[in-house]
């Protein structure tokens, strides 16, 4: 069953999302060539704790860090450490926050310095696919309409959606029902209801759709080594237009950081 949030829970989710947006803003102040992924993790952790929240990812199923930082061919779940950002990298940052027992989750891909035109087009297509999917997060829309529209848009531009990893419901737990693939036929599955909260997150490869997991047990990479991009928002289904709780992370949507 897909949980429906109460009015009090919606307000708490908005506060959780506001802290998540502040955390992205703090990370963005550090994004430049030469900075380590571990330094990004540290500032994110400090921001969440100082905002009276908890890092939602840390220790979740054994994950060791506050955020995920995935570079170029890494699709998701890259573990922060000593790797330094380089000019021309695509860097996906995925962050989750638990505040007052309510969870929010978002991801954004950034261009570090001068990236290739093909990487920038990949990033822009993934971002546009996310927002096209969000447009269908409306009451009485079939869940699979979101999935279908994302797939159709991405593939029409010559890219591949990752199929093994999906979006999800969120709120009282980090992962709730339903699972939300980024592919599939339209007009299937449950109809959305007011008060549902969804994490929509297309993951798009420049090359083939396949993935593999590295020996650390977490880092997911494209099977052919092609670059990948990832964007995600936490979205509240309302009686009208969907409310993007984490919309503030779009404020710098140029996504370019030169340092």
Rg (CA), the chain: 17
For residue 253 the two structure tokens come to 């949507």
On average, the pLDDT of the chain sits at 96
| Residues β-bridged to residue 23 | none
Q: Which pLDDT does position 251 carry in this prediction?
A: 80
Per-residue pLDDT of 228-249, as tens digits, reads 999 999 999 999 999 999 999 9
Q: Which pLDDT does position 87 carry in this prediction?
A: 98
Q: Which pLDDT does position 257 carry in this prediction?
A: 45
Per-residue pLDDT of 201-235, as tens digits, reads 999 999 999 999 999 999 999 999 999 999 999 99
What is the pairing mode between strands 102-112 and 256-257? parallel
For residue 224 the two structure tokens come to 């052919």
Per-residue pLDDT of 42-99, as tens digits, reads 999 999 999 999 999 999 999 999 999 999 999 999 999 999 999 999 999 999 999 9
Q: Which pLDDT does position 210 carry in this prediction?
A: 96
For residue 234 the two structure tokens come to 């936490």
Per-residue pLDDT of 110-126, as tens digits, reads 999 999 999 999 999 99
- Spatial neighbors of 205 by CB under 8 A, at least 6 apart, are 75, 159, 160, 161, 162, 222, 224, 226, 227, 228
What average pLDDT does the segment 128-142 reach?
97
Q: Which pLDDT does position 158 carry in this prediction?
A: 98
Domains and CATH numbers, the chain: 7-257 (3.90.230.10)
What average pLDDT does the segment 176-201 reach?
97
Q: Which pLDDT does position 259 carry in this prediction?
A: 38
């Amino acid at each position: 069953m897909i949980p429906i949030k109460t009015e009090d829970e919606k307000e708490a989710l908005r506060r959780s999302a506001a802290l998540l947006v502040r955390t992205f803003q703090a990370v963005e102040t550090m994004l430049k060539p030469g900075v380590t992924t571990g330094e990004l993790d540290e500032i994110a952790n400090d921001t969440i704790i100082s905002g009276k929240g908890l890092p939602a990812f840390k220790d979740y199923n054994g994950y060791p860090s506050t955020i995920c930082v995935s570079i170029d061919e890494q699709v998701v779940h890259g573990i922060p450490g000593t790797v330094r950002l380089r000019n021309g990298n695509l860097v996906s940052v995925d962050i989750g926050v638990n505040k007052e027992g309510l969870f929010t989750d978002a991801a954004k891909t950034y261009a570090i310095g001068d990236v290739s035109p093909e990487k920038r087009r990949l990033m822009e297509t993934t971002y546009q696919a996310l927002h096209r999917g969000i447009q269908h997060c409306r009451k009485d829309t079939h869940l699979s309409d979101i999935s279908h529209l994302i797939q159709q848009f991405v593939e029409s531009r010559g890219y591949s959606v990752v199929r093994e990893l999906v979006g999800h419901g969120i709120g009282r737990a980090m992962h709730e029902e339903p699972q939300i693939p980024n592919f599939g036929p339209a007009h299937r599955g449950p109809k959305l209801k007011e008060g549902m909260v969804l994490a929509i997150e297309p993951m798009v490869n420049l090359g083939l759709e396949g993935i593999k997991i590295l020996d650390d047990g977490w880092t997911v990479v494209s099977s052919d080594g092609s670059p990948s991009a990832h964007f995600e928002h936490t979205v509240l289904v309302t009686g009208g237009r969907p409310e993007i709780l984490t919309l503030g992370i779009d404020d710098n949507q140029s996504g370019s950081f030169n340092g």
